[in-house]
Amino acid sequence: MMMKLISLLLINLVLMNVAVLGVYSSNYFSRDDFPPAFVFGSGTSAYQVEGAASEDGRTPSIWDTYAHAGSAHGATGDVACDEYHKYKEDVQLMVDTGLDAYRFSISWSRLIPNGRGPVNPKGLQYYNNLINELVSHGIQPHVTLHNYDLPQALEDEYGGWVSREIVIDFTFYAEVCFREFGDRVFYWSTVNEPNVYVLGGYDQGFTPPQRCSPPFGVFSCSKGNSSSEPYTAAHNILLAHASAARLYMTKYKDKQHGFIGLSIYVWWLVPLTDTKEDAIATQRAIDFQVGWFLDPLVFGDYPTIMKQNVGSRLPAFTNLESKLVKGSFDFIGIIHYNNMYVRDRSNSLKREYRDYNLDAAIEIIQIQGNSSAFEFPIAPWGLRGVLEYFKQVYGNPPIYIYENGQRMKRNSTLDDISRVKYMHGYIGGVLDALRNGSNTRGYFAWAFMDVFELLDGFGSSYGLYYVDLDDPDLRRYPKQSAKWYSQFLKGESISLDGVIELEKNLSTPSHAYLQ
């Protein structure tokens, strides 16, 4: 989804020969190998696909502001894929593809312009229409409430997520959604990948709302404090999540029978060398990345190493808050694309002014395959590692893999064989994890179509469907990955042999590149 962010965090780039083909027990599998209730879907998010940014009463979010400041290479989501007007066509494509479920997000400032106060009837109508269209075609909606798009009005009024006031406004917004849509929506995620959101937005300052302070940050931000705000914002996100989840659990769950959780961005992390220091640093990196959110949710408090390294800049939970946060989820969403090396940087703890990276005292180094650096290495052992870790450390909670997919240059080709290989490898990896006891309940390919991406606008693509931006109708075209996923979803047995044969067939001169 926003992988370039990751490369900005990198200090080093190391070329390694990582096995390109994943290690999974069977090359051959089919959908029948998965439990009958296992859900296969695909996803997008509001600002990335809807367009109609100033139509029917929607007001700007912090993402609109960010894009209009030119931060996504000058591209904006003003039109995006125009799903606001084309949702019926898109739901039909989902039906044709054979999806069980569609993950999308609600634009808070479309539903409640300015973040609080009256509900916008046109916004309500749009989401009712989309949800009804999905449900009437047997596609399960999985809804995220916040995906980088806080109403700008709340950012302006009190600083958005750095203020405790957000807890009340977020809970109110969530309740509108439960009340209006909860009879048809059974899967709710409060906040999408808060661990990346707070680092991009409050430490390095290159994602909305672009807050940071010198000497940190990749841009000069007009506001912020990189030493403290990532921790404050994360704390308020946890409290707002817990508040909304508790409300759902006490007031709606009994009659609506749904489930609530949040999603976390997870790299699988491995030590760069076999030194003891790098091994310890890797556990520290996992605690800072995953434990930051999962420890409070599962155990009621931040990891000890975070409390130790961050000190008073890390907010403390009161007993009541700890009880509220602990156990406030039915499932965890995992967003996983690739694996990284970790190198110990314990010296950074001697610095007087520190941000998250210095507090974590680590260096993250990209593991690169031998395909182009733009594409992710196909290394599903990392996803297996993540699922195994959640099983062993966090008591095997129900998991939805909410994002996983291959990044490619946008519209280079419809023959996205590398994406097909990636999906084959990772879905096979999920099957292996299930066979070893993982409680994973679903897999969602990112993304259903080529969307407006956070950092590089329309420069990269993850979609199963290509969207022709030069066509006033924004026509959608299936890539090989859409066809492959569809075959798999419709029960065909798949193997890498088939993919390799397809690749051979395609490497004849009749290449189907777009004009």
Ligand X SMILES: *[C@@H]1O[C@H](CO)[C@@H](O)[C@H](O)[C@H]1NC(C)=O
Which residues would be at the binding site for ligand X (CB under 6 A)? Answer: 17, 20, 213, 225, 227-228, 313, 370-371, 388, 392, 410-411, 436-437, 458, 470, 498, 501-502, 505, 514-515
As measured in angstroms, the least distance from the Cβ of 500 to ligand X is 9
As measured in angstroms, the least distance from the Cβ of 6 to ligand X is 21
Annotation says 180 is catalytic:
no
* Rounded (10°) CA dihedral 299, 301, 304, 306: 130
Nearest alpha carbon to residue 299 among 312, 315, 282, 317: 317
As measured in angstroms, the least distance from the Cβ of 44 to ligand X is 18
Question: At 15, phi and psi to the nearest 5?
Answer: -90, 125
Nearer residue to ligand X within complex by CB, 81 or 242 = 81
Q: Which helix (H) or strand (E) holds 400?
A: strand 399-403
Nearer residue to ligand X within complex by CB, 144 or 213 = 213
CB 268 within 8 A of CB 376: no
SS (H, E, C) 249-294: HHHHHHHHCCEEEEEEECCEEEECCCCHHHHHHHHHHHHHHHHHHH
As measured in angstroms, the least distance from the Cβ of 433 to ligand X is 7
Alpha helices per DSSP H over 289-372: 292-299, 304-310, 319-325, 356-360
> What is each CA distance from 417 to 16, 157, 374, 381, 420, in whole angstroms?
22, 48, 14, 20, 5
Kindly name the residue from 83, 375, 403, 453 that is annotated as catalytic: 403
Tokens of 136: 């009437």
Nearer residue to ligand X within complex by CB, 314 or 362 = 314
Q: Which helix (H) or strand (E) holds 335?
A: strand 331-335
Annotation says 165 is catalytic:
no
Amino acid at 481: S
Nearer residue to ligand X within complex by CB, 192 or 438 = 438
As measured in angstroms, the least distance from the Cβ of 371 to ligand X is 6
Nearer residue to ligand X within complex by CB, 300 or 498 = 498
Nearer residue to ligand X within complex by CB, 127 or 231 = 231
Kindly name the residue from 133, 193, 229, 453 that is annotated as catalytic: 193
As measured in angstroms, the least distance from the Cβ of 256 to ligand X is 34
Residues known to be catalytic: 193, 403
